Chain A
Amino acid sequence: MAVIEVEDVRRNFTVRTREGRWRRGRREVRAVDGLSFTVGEGECVGYIGPNGAGKSTTVKMLTGILVPSGGRLRVAGVDPAARRAELARRIGVVFGQRTTLWWDLPLRDSYELARRIYRIPDARYRANLDRCVELLDLGPLLDTPVRQLSLGQRMRGDLAAALLHDPSVLYLDEPTIGLDTVSKAKVRAFLRETNRERRTTVLLTTHDLTDIEQLCGRVMVIDHGRLVLDGPLERLHEIGGSERTLVVDLAEAHPPIDLPGVRVARTEGPRQWLAFPARQSAAPIVAAVAARYPLVDLSVREPAIEDVIARIYAGNAVPSAPAP
């Protein structure tokens, strides 16, 4: 069953521009331009695209904050813009960069408020809170004022707050931004569990491809207000031909490292940038380099979404891609 239905949705903005000293012009900008997709119950979809591509405009329309200029939208069977207050009880929203928790109050108080605002029955509230506390390790934090929590702890707190009322759809905007590796792993594990066990439909916008790799079976790429790709993550790598980069620091400057399946993208003194296909494991390459060269330090860089999308355009591999 489709939980999110988007059919030829458009959203124009009027931008006022200055033309000369007094004259003001108006220009129509199409933030979302004929978007169509459906998301089934229990799916976890990554929604990615460069800044200004129309991601947040889409999410704002799906939450009912923004009224579309045209097309048809349904979330959980409801027209979001027309029945925003009703829909609010069925969706959860987490903004990675903006907390909805009460800064000066113990974490628990924010949950108590949610219980009342969302009118969560007592038994269900207790069960959901217990589950979140257990899976997100919130037990020791419940009585701590939110301002004293670390960024990762706060994000976990925000996630729990968004799920206490059993939303059927969860919108996540950059849920792992700024978190350390351990916190990222906890957040991802919790989301995977929630998605699987609760059949919560998840729409995730992120710049971190690892989030998508670990959580989403499906990716939608938006650019200039249109979907340029909708399919499994493998398709993205296939089409984008994306590469990860292994940055190695050797003891001294060497000629470019020669390994099969590895392309030296750049060298700078003792440092070399080795590009390899994103689907390939870094471990054998690291082992090979370490065996043959005096390796001092290394790091792996994930492909940036902007680069992948740029490559999608450059290769012109997607039939539906509009001319930018």
Chain B
Amino acid sequence: MAEPGGGGGSGGGAAARAGWAVRSWWLITGMWIRSTMAYRASFALSLAANTLITFLDFAVLLLMFAHTRQLAGWTLAETGFLYATSSVALGAANVLVGSVGGLGERVRSGSLDTMLIRPAPALAQLAAERFSLRRLGRLLQAFAVLGWSLTALDVHWTWDRVLMVPALLLCGTVIFCALFVGCSCVQFWWGEAAELQNAVTYGGATVLQYPPTVFAKELVAGTVFGVPLAFVNWLPALHVLGRTDPLGLPAAFRFASPLAAALCVLAAGLAWRAGLRAYRSTGS
């Protein structure tokens, strides 16, 4: 049997290595799930609190629409669609790799070293660290809102629009995963920079929950050409909802999310490699 985990790049093949990374992630995640189950009462309480908080989050939106029929030209169902897609993508990314934010702490305490001496990929170990089922709460709420908005939307559901929804969720999740990892890598150099990652991911997701027309054009342009958040839901949603682009970009941008996601993954991968190399050469 081949040893995909070994070799550090030589042999094994990229697919086998990715498979091994996913398997390592699962193994360690399973350990954390069982660890939290050692404290069932605490788990139940935090799950309840988490779910309550995320529902209050959506209640803010409902409250807003109790006073107005439209928000910057978007209906409640349309805004709910943005809210839900942004939350699903962020929630799924948080479940998968949210723990990489703790990188700075691990660099400081030296516990990253214990991950580097195990034969499982360090990124997979880091991503699975302190995994908690609690994080599923946000995801469940997001899917509930998504289900409701899909039935409430006044959209002519053609096949391309129907297929666009799962594609959007998948690409959005990948983009957020890459942002989690990429922004956390800054902590290889500046251990205290966890807030950057939080601002881009959680902050970004909050921005995406509202129609782009709410914001200044410069900010929207920044999410297209800078940090590519617009590709998570704003741009593909324009196609699903049949709306015009506030920036007047070519229609191709609405279908460019897979490309944006691939570029994000590439950038995050390079950042991770550079960070790990810097860590291993400074040992700080």
Contact = CB atoms under 8 A, between A and B. Distances in A.
Contact of B118 (A67, A86, A88, A102): A88
B73 interface: no
Interface residues of A, number: 33
B33 to A, nearest CB: 11
Interface residues of B, number: 30
Interface stretch (A39-47, A90-98, A261-269, A312-320): A90-98
Nearest to A95: B114
Interface in A61-110: 63-67, 81-86, 88-89, 91, 93, 95, 98, 100, 102-105, 109
B35 A102 contact: yes
A60 B283 CA distance: 9
A57 interface: yes
A24 interface: no
A10 to B, nearest CB: 13
Contacts, number: 83
A105 B34 contact: yes
A130 to B, nearest CB: 23
A65 B117 CA distance: 7
Given A113-B31, A116-B27, A93 B8 contact: no
Given A89-B119, A113-B31, A145-B38, A100 B114 contact: yes
A104 B35 contact: yes
Contacts of A293: none
Contact of B119 (A88, A102, A109): A88
Interface string B191-227: 0000000000000000000000000000000000000
A65 B6 contact: no
A66 B280 contact: yes
A13 interface: yes
A146 to B, nearest CB: 10
Given A65-B113, A83-B7, A13 B282 contact: yes
A84 B116 contact: yes
Given A66-B283, A103-B35, A86 B7 contact: yes
A88 B117 contact: yes
Interface in B17-62: 24, 27-28, 31, 34-36, 38-39
Interface of B: 3, 5-8, 10, 24, 27-28, 31, 34-36, 38-39, 110-111, 113-114, 116-121, 277, 280-283
5 contacts: A65-B117, A86-B3, A86-B6, A91-B117, A98-B110
Interface of A: 13-14, 57, 60, 63-67, 81-86, 88-89, 91, 93, 95, 98, 100, 102-105, 109, 113, 116-119, 145
